[in-house]
Amino acid sequence: MTGTDATAPSDPPGVDLRSDTVTRPTPAMYERMRSAPLGDDGLDGDPTARELEALVARTLDKEAGLYVPTATMGNLLAVLAQTERQGQVLLEATAHMFLTERGGATLAGLAYLGIAGTAGAMDLDELERTLRRPGGLRTELVGMETSHANAGGAVPPLEHMRAVMEAARGAGARVHLDGARLFNAAVALEVAPAAIARCADSVAVCLSKGLSAPAGAVLVGTAPA
């Protein structure tokens, strides 16, 4: 037979590995978008956004959630909500929040300080020394990241994350988790997402990281008093 065989199976679609944000909604998600109730988020709130916020908060065992356009915004809001000016935020030295987002320090009036680490997990001894350093800036917040983008997608063990939280709380600091890829980390650790989220006071998750949404993030934490 000459020419192209019209009945021959086509090549399977390629996998685009340029970024973990190259995601597309599923047919079921498109249908849900079409039929979703709509409201005014600037007035009484959009019911779909509110449902999403409540779902993520419930899934991660937190009191409340806030939908935001990007995880960068979610991380910055977490910093602003949990710190006082003229303090410092401690992060693993190759963390996304430290290398890419610390320009937010100009808004928060804080210093961002990198703590050396291995495979995305900060050195616990160095963390303790920094937290206890006499005459140093007051540490307002300690940040973690999972999975860790600049460490090749490494997932710090839960034991390490719990140790970071214990050290931070012992020094009177709160803990934020840049959990942009938290659900991927939960799969890697074979635990429920809430088990990871319990290692932090606040968590930002990105909806475009393996969850098929083209944009958006949700910040979860304690409800307003």
Dihedral sign computed on CA atoms, order 133, 137, 139, 144: negative
Q: What is the pLDDT along the chain (225 residues), one digit of tens a residue?
A: 444 445 545 555 666 666 666 777 888 888 888 888 877 766 677 888 899 999 999 999 999 999 999 999 999 999 999 999 999 999 999 999 999 998 888 888 999 999 999 999 999 999 999 999 888 889 999 999 999 999 999 999 999 999 999 999 999 999 999 999 999 999 999 999 999 999 999 999 999 887 777 788 999 999 876
CA dihedral 11, 15, 18, 23 (to 10 degrees): 120
In terms of DSSP H, where are the helices of 190-225? 193-197
Extract the tokens encoding 114.
């990198």
Query: What is this structure's pTM?
Result: 0.86
Q: Determine the angle formed by the axes of helices 124-132 and 158-170, rounding to 10 degrees.
A: 10
Amino acid at 102: R
Please give the pLDDT value at position 2. Answer: 47
Fold of 59-221: Aspartate Aminotransferase; domain 2 (3.40.640)
Q: How remote is the C-alpha of 137 from its chain's centroid?
A: 25
Amino acid at 32: R
Which residue bears the tokens 């935001």? 68
Please give the pLDDT value at position 59. Answer: 97
Residue 95 has φ and ψ, to the nearest 5°, of -65, 150
Residue 63 has φ and ψ, to the nearest 5°, of -75, -35
